[in-house]
Amino acid sequence: MSWLCWRRWELNQDSDFGQVKSFEARLWRAFFHFCYTRTMTFPFIEQEDPEIFAALVGEEQRQAEGLELIPSENYVSRAVKEASASSLTNKYSEGYPGKRYYGGQEYTDQVETLAIDRAKTLFGAAYANVQPLSGANANIAMYMALLEPGDTVLGMDLSHGGHLTHGHPVTYLTKMFNFVRYQMKNVETGEIDYEEMRRTAKEVRPKIILAGFSAYPRELDYAKFVAIAREVGAVAVMDIAHIAGLIAGKAAKNPFDAGFDIMTSTTHKTLRGPRGGLILVRESEELAKKIDKAVFPGLQGGPHMHQIAAKAVSFREALAPSFAAYAKQIIANTKAMERVYSEHGARMITGGSDNHLILLDVWTSFGISGGEAEKLLDRAGITLNKNTIADDTRKPMDPSGIRFGTPAMTTRGFGTTESARVAESMIEVLTKRDDATVERAKQEVKNLALAHPIPESFV
């Protein structure tokens, strides 16, 4: 199938605004369409809903043909997809294993119990709730479990890497709770200002000290967070959504080892599971009970059992030794890209990366905005996103930075050499910006991707 995808990609080069020029290309395209659609796993959709079928085939192709550098995206295994598409989607299972509000729960109980046990083993937790429908829901349930309206949360400044659900003014969360910020002390090294955090914590007495991020490339000093939380009587919570796979693969430190009380997460991103959320509690039964009550009935209705089965499958995959190798390779690949940018004197926020992502200040380094860089690289077949950088002087819709990472391309089998070449191509495009350079980079990206198609077990 991968070969067919690439043949299709090549044919697209022989077209002009979608009009296929040569007879040979037209013949190939018809052949491709026949073969490709035979290999698709949507035969019933094809028959019953051609419009959705066309969109699904298009998306499959898009994912196969481009180079995915958005750090929160990945390719899930076929086994995970099978579970997601299973008949568990038909089942209502409000409640928890052994305590449901509907009958017929013999198999759903097995599935959810397996997911819980595997999550606990993977992250060294005493308790796990696998029902949150997404990372945002996991965070909202965690707030509801721990806070009363008006209570204070001390979280990472959003322009310094925190997530929307950590108290962005556009969210309803800020109408209910009081979010106070800590920041990096030095944007060039990424060091958090722990002294200032401690002073603020003593002043505002937060109920939660929240660590975690969407756009921060360094490892945090977890022990310092926990010490401050203990000093002011707050619960120490880490949102590990972005780095859950690195922690599971033991390529990054586990915040529980430093005494964090709770971790919230997505199950997609580096963890390479289905879209969904997860809440882990290190040891407190009291906290675990509050979390369970907040998820259901506090926030959600029936759990999505098909996704919980898919989570269980992905947790099993993450427990395998090959996943540890994958997690290490993600970091090695990021480091390889970091070296290239350093050599070219490009400015990375925090000076580089210890995890799966890099935040590049393209405004200072290349004199173009994040939005322009995103579009240019898109033309070269590289998908990533514009991103605000710490203390950005530009607007969020066209900020100074781009954010990108290595989880998806590492799943494709890219190593450090290929990652460095991608970084070189990016720099060339961002520096020269002419059509010929974009075209050259596109060819280079295509050759790299062709040599590393999405593995069959992930297609």
Ligand X SMILES: Cc1ncc(COP(=O)(O)O)c(C=O)c1O
In the shown chain, the binding pattern of residues 223 to 242 toward ligand X, with x for contact by CB under 6 A and - for none, equals: ----------------x-xx
Q: Would you give the binding string for ligand X spanning residues 52-91, x where CB under 6 A is met? A: --------------------x-------------------
Q: Is the bond into 297 cis (omega within 30 degrees of 0)?
A: yes
Q: Which of residues 120-139 bind ligand X (CB under 6 A)?
A: 134-136, 139
Distance between CA 95 and CA 101 in Å, rounded? 6
Residue 239 falls in the annotated catalytic set: yes
Q: Two tokens at 174?
A: 């800020």
**66, 212, 255, 370: which one contacts ligand X (CB under 6 A)?**
212
Binding mask 137-156 for ligand X (x = CB under 6 A): --x-----------------
Instruction: Candidates 74, 93, 254, 266: give the one binding ligand X (CB under 6 A).
Output: 266
> Packing angle between helix 305-319 and helix 106-123, nearest 10 degrees?
40
Cβ burial 234-251 (10 Å sphere, 16+ → b, else e): bbbbbbbbbbbbbbbbeb
Give catalytic status of residue 275 as yes or no: yes
DSSP state of 348: B
CA distances from 345 to 276, 283, 362, 365 (A): 38, 46, 11, 8
Minimum gap (Å) between residue 156 Cβ and ligand X: 9
Nearest position to ligand X, beta carbon: 135
* Residue in 427, 417, 406 with CA at minimum distance from that of residue 447: 417
Q: DSSP letters along 254-287, please?
A: -GGGGT-SEEEEESSGGG---S-EEEEESS-HHH
Give 125 or 448: the residue with its C-beta nearer to ligand X.
125
Q: Which of residues 306-365 bind ligand X (CB under 6 A)?
A: none
152, 165, 171, 266: the active-site residue: 266
Catalytic residue of the set 60, 68, 112, 239: 239
Alpha helices in 40-177 (DSSP H): 43-48, 50-65, 78-84, 106-123, 135-146, 173-176
The residue from 181, 218, 269, 282 that is catalytic is 269
The residue annotated as part of the active site, out of 36, 92, 107, 194, is 92
Among positions 93, 165, 406, 411, the unique one binding ligand X when judged by CB under 6 A: 165
Residue 301 class from Cβ within 10 Å (0-12 exposed, 13-18 middle, 19+ buried)? exposed
428 is catalytic: no
Residues annotated as catalytic are 92, 94, 239, 266, 269, 275
The residues binding ligand X (CB under 6 A) are 72, 134-136, 139, 163, 165, 212-214, 239, 241-242, 266
